[in-house]
Amino acid sequence: MIFFIQMLFSRNFYEFSLRFILLFLVILFSFFLIRGIFREISQLKRLGQMKSEFVSIVSHQLRTPLTAAKGYLSLLLDGTYGNLDAKPREILEKVFISNERLIRLINDLLNVSLMDYNKLGFKFERFSFENMVSGIVDELKIEAFHKNLFLAWEKPAKPLPQIWGDPEKLYQAILNIIDNAIKYTKQGGVTVKIEEMERGEMKKLLLTISDTGEGIESDRLESIFEGFDRGERMSKLHIEGKGLGLNFSKKIVLAHHGKIWAESEGPGEGSTFFIELPVNF
């Protein structure tokens, strides 16, 4: 603009030509600069998408054989091929737990890569949340047992209404949290319960997962849901985590118009995670 105005107010032809050339050069430079920036942005977007697709393909490829291994291990542990002695059973249980961890790690990665590109398709249906949670507790019993922890399921006194949601995604979201409760507890154990609540016209289910574990500092109670917050303490104590599980769980709960939050009296005092889900939305 300045060059253009200066050009209009030139005193002679020489000054006019000089300013005209300057203006032309500035426009040319800006054009190439802006085009370069746009190209760079689209390149970055393409790279991001490629990275996400790569993670997604690799995760699928890894998950399939691990799931097959899990099936065979379950059959062995259930005694389908005969009773096992204590020692081989103990070793197989360890293999089973490690395999489970790997599957969950891959699921986390896959979910986050899908989340990034809003490809996480939801399949909503009406189902029993209560049965789903008790199934997860059953599945994680072996892990808790191995760490000498109790994993208590406080069955609701009366049957709870079915909810409207995506059972597969909610399963993964809740599994993350109960699995964390076991992972971050050394002594005592984990208690899981669901209550029905009436909020005005709305019926809701409140799932509570409380542990007697390592607890959470008050300034991290919110940031742990934002992804990649593992805390200095946990990074030292548990090397394998990535700090992605809770972020995924939060996104899933929000997609169900629910709420998720954590409470803890601080380090060493245990933690309680709450998930509130509307029966209908």
Work out how close the CB of 169 gets to ligand ADP at its nearest, in angstroms, rounded to a whole number: 16
**Which residues, 6+ apart, have CB-to-CB distance to 210 below 8 Å?**
181, 190, 191, 270, 271, 272, 273
Work out how close the CB of 96 gets to ligand ADP at its nearest, in angstroms, rounded to a whole number: 20
For position 230 contacting ligand ADP by CB under 6 A, the verdict is yes
For position 211 contacting ligand ADP by CB under 6 A, the verdict is yes
Smaller CB separation from ligand ADP, 135 or 241: 241
Among 241, 255, 259, 274, binds ligand ADP (CB under 6 A): 241
Smaller CB separation from ligand ADP, 106 or 181: 181
Alpha-helix residue ranges (DSSP H) falling in the chain: 2-8, 13-78, 86-116, 129-146, 167-183, 232-237, 245-255
Smaller CB separation from ligand ADP, 161 or 268: 268
Name which of 67, 76, 209 is nearest 133 in CA terms: 209
242-246 long-range contacts, Cβ below 8 Å, gap at least 24?
A: 242/105, 242/108, 242/109, 244/108, 244/109, 244/112, 245/104, 245/108, 245/176, 245/177, 245/179, 245/180, 246/176, 246/177, 246/180
Among 59, 113, 172, 180, binds ligand ADP (CB under 6 A): 180
DSSP code at position 85: P
What does each C-alpha distance from 54 to 112, 118, 257, 279 come to in angstroms? Answer: 13, 16, 31, 37
Here the tokens at position 43 are 């390149």
Smaller CB separation from ligand ADP, 46 or 242: 242
Footprint (CB under 6 A) of ligand ADP, residues 81-140: none
For position 234 contacting ligand ADP by CB under 6 A, the verdict is yes
For position 246 contacting ligand ADP by CB under 6 A, the verdict is yes
For position 214 contacting ligand ADP by CB under 6 A, the verdict is yes
Stretch that binds ligand ADP, among 22-30, 47-55, 196-204, 244-252 (CB under 6 A): 244-252
For position 258 contacting ligand ADP by CB under 6 A, the verdict is no
Residues that bind ligand ADP (CB under 6 A): 176, 180-181, 184, 211, 213-216, 224, 229-231, 234, 241-247, 271
